[in-house]
Structure 1
Amino acid sequence: MLELVTRSMLERYLESDTISARLDACTHDGDEELTCQRWLRQTPPKRLIYERLYGDLLRGGAPRRVLDVGGGLSALTRELARHHDYTLVELLAHDPPERAERMMAEVGKRFLVRKEWYEYVPDGPYDIVIANDLFPNVDQRLELFLGRYVEGASLIRLSLTYYNDPRFYLARRVDADEILCMMAWNGRMTGSALQPFLGPEHRRRLTSFEQDNPSVYDNGRQVCLVEIAGRSPRS
Structure 2
Amino acid sequence: MRNIKMTIEYDGGRYLGWQRLSDSDKTIQGKIENVLSAMTGDKIEIIGSGRTDAGAHANGQVANFKTIATMEFPAMLDHLNRYLPRDIIVKKLEEVPERFHARYNANGKKYSYYVWNNPVPSVFERNFSYDYPGELDIAKMNEACNKLVGKHDFIGFSSLKKSKKSTVRTIDEIKIQKEGDLLHFTFTGEGFLYKMIRIIMGTIIEIGLGMTEPEAIDAIFKSGIRSDAGMTVPSQGLFLDEVYYD
TM-score (norm 1): 0.28
Which protein has the larger Cα radius of gyration, Structure 1 or Structure 2? Answer: 2
Between Structure 1 and Structure 2, the one with more strand by share is 2
TM-score (norm 2): 0.28
